[in-house]
């Protein structure tokens, strides 16, 4: 018995699973009789491809668990392992070219403007860096064949992926989780019965020059460097360490792997890190970081590591519960539910999808980590689609749509940190490209916080990415009402506004102030280009930016002169316009019906409906009707995230049945993979987050000081409940309904405030006091409010 085994036995784990033969036999029988849980994804066979594997993560470390039998694979990620290194992509010719580009756009010479932008204003390089896989952990089990009673699952409430199967009279169980407390990936392999755990533990990586070596005891190392991309040299070192701790068996090094033989159970601890410290600092020591994490975790019993992981995860995950009803379909394996979702009556699948989105955000974005990128933290490639980076003309923002209303506000911290960083790099871009104050970002950024335009003029010459991100700063305040937070982020909001105070240009025809050059992401207008001045989305985003800056400064009691300037500029922005077929115009000119992609995946000009609230069915009914017309023209069929945005728009417009139809489209096997990842295709995580936000929006709408209960409740969910949602003004909301009608809403505020409560056409205004909950019920033609 090793010293670690003796220590663990004293601490209470050892071989306790085999202490009682009756218990062991009962657990073997449970391999195929584990009852389906509404919070579990489960399957009858191992994953054969990456999009069938199950995702775990602690915000920084991620793994895709395949659940193989004789050979298992865990594909690994660490959130700072990207290609390249610190770089400044601003084109030195951009500032000189800017006046001519604006002049060409003003003359309607869009193709010429696009050619000049491509020649003189695009970033160098014209592509950004990629988020990359770390590699794979391989577990090979010699002699393990003829498995029966197989089941693998992912318990969202525990954030643990489990594989179970029987060989003869032995039940083999494998549990995998990523601890946010101990910052290690934990794998526990156990045998209950006559069999033992024999396993070879291996590491591999597609990065060039990687070295894998086992030391003289129980440690396996993988070390390497990232590579260059698009001419930017690799600057990161990375390390992965695995320690194997066996109970009742032996661990021996095998050169480039570890060999465990005859164990009753094995705990593998995996740590990974890079030398990244900041976007401009790569001086970290990944060897020291991983060694410290492994050493600290190895000194704890498995039960303690698991308990601390469960407590940390559940402190976030259990804030919200949802029940949309159930049916016989809920008894099926998850992949069968998805593959047959078009035919099945399965309201519980929507509830599972809602909670899966929250689970993914918890696993891919925690304080101190990088924000969730295009694939969260899960990527098996060195060159993933679109670099798996931060696309800030919709995708990054959509990742965080569910955070505030579904009670995960802490998870916005990485996004706030990214905004702080690009306010620094974006100030350089504002100065060098536009000769302007403040800061800005175009439509993409990466680990190195690049803010210059990329991907060519068609996609990249859009100056409002940073301004859109500022909406999340305001929303984080508005949902939580933390004045200290507002004071800290107000300079970021103000800096973004200052850039536009310096760069908006006056339209000679109308006198309105507009962005130029710009585009309506990522759509081309009917004049051979994407480039324009003042697309609708820009004006809408800037109205929010100026409004929120003014409100923040008023709340903080500062910047009276700036507030006045912002208000005057805001008043000169071009208004939303209704076109000749009754649609909300995407551009200043009525070009919508002539555009080459009338069914484009982006619905940029509907930003004012959602995520903003400028256009509303109650306050601006004509514009809301025009937005609905635009949405009908665009069509519901789109990419995964495009369907997710449409879901939120239909819910915000109050069309419950159309919203539910679009949700069912999102849950189809063409848009949801067997492991519930969103299919763009390929995988993009924003569709998952957009779906979670959309389901929430169907049940609770929060705009300004109004809380709208069940605004888009479909007939498919006649009875249900949801608890733990948040509304603006720091209000918790619990809802229950039956027969398609509200039973009750429980509201509790963290700060005092006056709120308008709406249920259909019924409205009541109430004053909420901290920690004094009230019950809202329907009383005939009115709403009744009862203190609790």
Do 17 and 116 belong to one domain? Answer: no
Q: List the CATH number of the domain containing 302.
A: 2.70.98.50
What's the confidence (pLDDT) of residue 310? 98
Do 405 and 449 belong to one domain? Answer: yes
In the predicted structure, residue 411 carries a pLDDT above the cut 50 = yes
Do 452 and 558 belong to one domain? Answer: yes
Q: Which residue has the tokens 């469960």?
A: 310
Strand bridging mode 731-738 / 741-749: antiparallel
Cα 401 from Cα 411, distance rounded (Å): 11
- Cβ atoms < 10 Å from Cβ of 613: 18
Last residue of a domain, one of 293, 318, 343: 318
Do 48 and 105 belong to one domain? Answer: no
Q: With respect to residue 354, please indicate whether it lies within any of the assigned structural domains.
A: no
Cα 426 from Cα 494, distance rounded (Å): 13
Structure token pair of residue 535:
């697309």
Q: What is the pLDDT of residues 18-40, one digit of tens each?
A: 222 222 333 333 444 555 689 99
Q: With respect to residue 17, please indicate whether it lies within any of the assigned structural domains.
A: yes
Cα dihedral 662→665→671→677 (10° resolution): 70
In the predicted structure, residue 12 carries a pLDDT above the cut 50 = no
- The region, left, alpha or beta by phi > 0 then psi within -120 to 50, assigned to residue 519 is beta
Last residue of a domain, one of 581, 599, 617: 599
Q: With respect to residue 579, please indicate whether it lies within any of the assigned structural domains.
A: yes
Please give the distance of CA 597 from its chain centroid, rounded to a whole number.
28
- Rounded mean pLDDT of the chain? 94
How confident is residue 781, by pLDDT bands cut at 50, 70 and 90? Answer: confident
Number of domains the chain contains: 3
Q: What is the pLDDT of residues 145-187, one digit of tens each?
A: 889 999 999 999 999 999 999 999 999 999 999 999 999 999 9
Last residue of a domain, one of 318, 340, 364: 318
Do 188 and 98 belong to one domain? Answer: no
- Domain of 496 in residue numbering reads as 94-124+396-599
CB 717 within 8 A of CB 404: no
Q: List the CATH number of the domain containing 555.
A: 1.50.10.10
Give the three-state DSSP class for 316: helix
Do 110 and 181 belong to one domain? Answer: no
Q: What is the pLDDT of residues 419-465, one digit of tens each?
A: 999 999 999 999 999 999 999 999 999 999 999 999 999 999 999 99
Structure token pair of residue 337:
């539910």
Structure token pair of residue 194:
């006559």
Do 258 and 402 belong to one domain? Answer: no
Q: With respect to residue 751, please indicate whether it lies within any of the assigned structural domains.
A: yes
Higher pLDDT: 563 or 2? It is 563
In the predicted structure, residue 210 carries a pLDDT above the cut 80 = yes
CB 763 within 8 A of CB 734: no
Q: Which residues have C-beta within 8 Å of that of residue 343, sequence separation ≥ 6?
A: none
pTM over 0.85: yes
Q: With respect to residue 428, please indicate whether it lies within any of the assigned structural domains.
A: yes
What's the confidence (pLDDT) of residue 216? 81
């Amino acid at each position: 018995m090793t010293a670690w085994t003796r220590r663990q036995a004293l601490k209470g784990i050892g071989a306790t699973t085999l202490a009682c033969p009756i218990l062991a036999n009962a657990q073997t029988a449970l391999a195929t009789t584990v009852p389906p849980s509404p919070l579990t994804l489960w399957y009858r066979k191992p994953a054969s491809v990456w999009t069938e594997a199950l995702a775990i993560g602690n915000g920084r470390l991620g793994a895709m668990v395949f659940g193989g039998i004789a050979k298992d694979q865990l594909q690994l990620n660490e959130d700072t392992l990207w290609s390249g290194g610190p770089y400044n992509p601003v084109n030195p010719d951009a500032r000189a070219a800017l006046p001519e580009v604006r002049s060409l756009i003003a003359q309607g010479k869009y193709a010429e403007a696009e050619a000049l932008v491509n020649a003189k204003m695009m970033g160098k390089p014209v592509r950004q860096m990629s988020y990359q896989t770390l590699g794979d952990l391989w577990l090979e089990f010699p002699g393990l064949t003829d498995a029966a009673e197989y089941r693998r699952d992912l318990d969202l409430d525990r954030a643990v992926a489990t594989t179970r199967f029987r060989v003869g009279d032995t039940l083999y169980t494998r549990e995998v989780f990523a601890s946010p407390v101990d910052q290690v990936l934990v794998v526990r392999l156990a045998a209950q019965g006559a069999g033992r755990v024999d396993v070879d533990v291996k590491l591999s990586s597609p990065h060039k020059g990687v070295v894998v070596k086992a030391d003289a005891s129980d440690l396996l190392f993988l070390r390497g460097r990232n590579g260059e991309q698009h001419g930017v040299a690799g600057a990161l070192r990375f390390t992965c360490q695995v320690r194997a701790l066996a109970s009742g068996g032996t661990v021996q090094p095998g050169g480039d792997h570890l060999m465990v033989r005859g164990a009753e159970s094995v705990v593998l601890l995996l740590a990974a890190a890079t030398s990244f410290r900041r976007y401009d600092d790569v001086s970290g020591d990944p060897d020291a970081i991983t060694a410290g994490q492994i050493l600290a975790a190895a000194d704890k019993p498995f039960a303690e590591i698991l308990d601390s992981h469960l407590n940390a995860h559940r402190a976030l995950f259990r804030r919200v519960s949802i029940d949309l009803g159930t049916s016989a379909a809920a008894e099926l394996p998850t992949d069968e539910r998805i593959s047959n979702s078009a035919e099945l009556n399965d309201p519980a699948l929507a509830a599972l999808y809602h909670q899966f989105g929250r689970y993914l955000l918890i696993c891919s974005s925690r304080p101190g980590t990088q924000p969730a990128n295009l694939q969260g933290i899960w990527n098996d490639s060195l060159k993933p689609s679109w670099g798996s980076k931060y696309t800030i003309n919709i995708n990054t923002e959509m990742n965080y749509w569910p955070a505030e209303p579904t009670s995960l506000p802490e998870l916005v911290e990485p996004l706030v940190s990214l905004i702080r960083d690009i306010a620094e790099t974006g100030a350089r871009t504002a100065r060098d490209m536009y000769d302007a104050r403040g800061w800005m970002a175009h439509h993409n950024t990466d680990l190195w916080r690049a803010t210059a335009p990329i991907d060519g003029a068609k996609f990249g010459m859009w100056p409002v990415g940073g301004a859109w991100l500022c909406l999340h700063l305001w929303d984080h305040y508005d949902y939580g009402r933390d004045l200290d937070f507002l004071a800290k982020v107000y300079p970021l909001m103000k800096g973004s506004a200052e850039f536009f105070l310096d760069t908006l240009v006056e339209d000679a025809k109308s006198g309105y102030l507009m962005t130029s050059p710009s585009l309506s992401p990522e759509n081309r207008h009917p004049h051979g280009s994407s480039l324009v001045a003042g697309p609708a989305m820009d004006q809408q985003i800037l109205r929010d930016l100026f409004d929120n800056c003014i409100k923040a400064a008023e709340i903080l009691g500062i910047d009276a002169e700036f507030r006045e300037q912002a208000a005057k500029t805001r008043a000169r922005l071009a208004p939303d316009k209704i076109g000749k077929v009754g649609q909300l115009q995407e551009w200043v000119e009525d070009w919508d019906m002539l555009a080459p992609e009338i069914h484009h995946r982006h619905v940029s000009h509907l930003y004012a409906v959602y995520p903003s609230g400028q256009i509303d069915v109650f306050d601006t009914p004509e514009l809301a009707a025009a937005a609905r017309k635009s949405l009908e023209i665009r069509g519901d069929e789109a990419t995964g995230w495009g369907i997710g945005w449409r879901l939120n728009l239909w819910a915000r417009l109050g069309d419950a049945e159309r919203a539910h139809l679009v949700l069912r489209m999102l849950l189809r096997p063409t848009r949801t993979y067997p492991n519930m990842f969103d299919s763009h295709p390929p995988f993009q995580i924003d569709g998952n987050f957009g779906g979670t936000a959309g389901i929430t929006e169907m049940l609770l709408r929060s705009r300004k000081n109004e809380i709208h209960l069940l605004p888009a409740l479909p007939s498919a969910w006649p009875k249900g409940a949801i608890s733990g949602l948040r509304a603006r003004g720091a209000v918790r909301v619990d809802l229950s309904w039956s027969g398609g009608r509200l039973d009750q809403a429980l509201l509790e505020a963290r700060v005092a405030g006056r709120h308008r409560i709406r249920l259909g056409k019924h409205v009541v205004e109430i004053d909420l006091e901290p920690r004094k909950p009230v019950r809202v019920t329907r009383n005939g033609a009115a709403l009744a409010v009862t203190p609790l």
